[in-house]
Amino acid sequence: MCRTRTIGLFRQVAPNHFPGGFFSLGGSMKVAQEYDRICEVFGRFRTQRAEPKGELAHVNAFTLLVAVVLSAQATDVGVNRATRALFAEADTPERMLELGEARLADMIRTIGLYRRKAASVMALSRILRDHYGSAVPASRAALVSLPGVGRKTANVVLNMWFDQPTQAVDTHIFRVGNRTGIAPGKTVAQVERALEDKVPAAYQKHAHHWLILHGRYVCTARKPDCQNCIIADLCPSSTVHG
Ligand code: SF4
């Protein structure tokens, strides 16, 4: 979709048209080549999974928010196992409050930090009921003001439910962003900013899920499967190319 546009633009312009001369053109060409590389990476991700989906089970915005809060330092599979029965009983802030903290804690006891998470879910349910008409707000500022909701959780909800092109950087995205050089950074904030800056607009919406799924199933922490990686020829960390 975006692959040839920038290269085409630079090919049309002679070096002496740049005020900074050849050096400036060389730098610009590097940027254009990197843009092309990133376009190719996401083009392949899109061919592989046109509509990537998150793996946290939910039935509405509220249950998505709760599931994401519960997923901190836990696996999606583990959260889904616990929330199947929970969301059948409590899929709104009112029903969650009726359920009560003790019963909630019991239902999610297989998830790490369950007592603290149960307290957060009860507190955020109360705030949603009392201040937002039981709706989940579509604003990062409002979301991060809720108990247990940090920037990453807010970004996941904004992306998955409200279709915003946010980049929620988890451990998988942090690793893949650095290994591939698409979004290098020493901190989560740096990787998030790099993704916002470098991923072309056409791919921003799904970049989060493509990178998570790639990190979860191919570019794993301990043993990246470079042999079967669809972007191995584009990756500076590949063990099978270059
Ligand atoms: S080539 Fe290897 S290191 Fe690079 S993204 Fe693929 S699995 Fe990860």
Q: Rounded to an integer, what distance in angstroms lies between the CA atom of residue 220 and that of residue 214?
A: 8
* Whole-number pLDDT of residue 27: 79
* Whole-number pLDDT of residue 5: 47
Q: Ligand 1 — pocket residues by CB below 6 A? A: 179-180, 218-219, 224-226, 229, 231-232, 235, 237-238
* Whole-number pLDDT of residue 241: 59
Residues 6-35 have a mean pLDDT of 58
* Whole-number pLDDT of residue 116: 97
**pLDDT range class, residue 11, cuts 50, 70, 90:** very low
- pLDDT at residue 6 tops 90: no
Q: Which residues are catalytic?
A: 152, 170
Residues 188-216 have a mean pLDDT of 95
Instruction: Give the architecture (CATH level 2) of 171-234.
Output: Orthogonal Bundle (1.10)
Select from 42, 172, 178, 237 the residue to mutate for testing ligand 1; criterion: most ligand atoms less than 8 Å from CB. Answer: 237
**pLDDT range class, residue 139, cuts 50, 70, 90:** very high
Q: Say how many Å lie between the CA of residue 178 and the centre of ligand 1.
A: 10
Q: Say how many Å lie between the CA of residue 180 and the centre of ligand 1.
A: 7
Q: Whole-prediction pTM value? A: 0.85
Instruction: Give the architecture (CATH level 2) of 61-160.
Output: Orthogonal Bundle (1.10)
Select from 40, 173, 210, 235 the residue to mutate for testing ligand 1; criterion: most ligand atoms less than 8 Å from CB. Answer: 235
**pLDDT range class, residue 14, cuts 50, 70, 90:** very low
Domain with CATH 1.10.340.30 in the chain: 61-160
Domain with CATH 1.10.1670.10 in the chain: 171-234
